[in-house]
Amino acid sequence: MLQSPVEAAATSSLPFCRVETVTRGSPAEKAGLQPSDEILQFGQTREMNGMRQEATSLAAVSVVIQRRGRPLRLTLHPGQDPLIGALFVPV
């Protein structure tokens, strides 16, 4: 059985960070990020060091998360502000 891209990302990698907080009205909240979400992939990166470059590209960023053990793909629209409104902590 073929896996969806979300399932493939979830099974091929471990979370590299977790969402600690999300600012109300921020791009992160609008994308659907919630505290305790675990980040499996952020754009093309699977490590915290690459997240800033992905978020400041001004383009939509695909974010694969794990929430309550289930993979989910969200789309983040950073906009003009390089701050996306979420605090990430390594896991």
Tens digits of per-residue pLDDT, 19-69? Answer: 999 999 999 999 999 999 999 999 988 888 877 777 767 688 999 999 999
For residue 86, give the nearest of 78, 43, 15, 60 by alpha carbon: 78
State the pLDDT at residue 20. 98
Take residue 2 and report the two structure tokens written for it. 């073929």
Architecture of domain 5-80: Roll (2.30)
- Domains of the chain, residue spans: 5-80
> 36 burial class (0-12, 13-18, 19+ CB within 10 angstroms)?
exposed
Q: What is the 3-state secondary structure (H, E, C) of 22-37?
A: ECCCCHHHHHCCCCCC
